[in-house]
Amino acid sequence: MSIALMSIPLKQAILEDCVILADEALRMRLKDKYPAVYERIQKRRALK
């Protein structure tokens, strides 16, 4: 049974959620090449 299918989870995880680790150089490349994606990531990070 996956976490997303648990009936009473303390926190819910969706199968599409993921964790990505990126150093500053990779974040800046992402920002330069895909600014819309970078902005979505920043907005998502602000929710935590």
Q: What is the pTM of this model?
A: 0.57
Report the pLDDT value the prediction gives residue 38, as an integer from 0 to 100: 93
Residue 17 has pLDDT above 80, yes or no: no
pLDDT digits (tens, 9 = 90+) for 29-48: 999 999 999 999 899 888 76
- Tell whether the torsion through CA atoms of 30, 24, 38 and 3 is positive or negative: positive
Distance CA 36, CA 9 (A): 32
- Tell whether the torsion through CA atoms of 14, 15, 21 and 22 is positive or negative: negative
Q: What are phi and psi of 24, to 5 degrees?
A: -60, -40
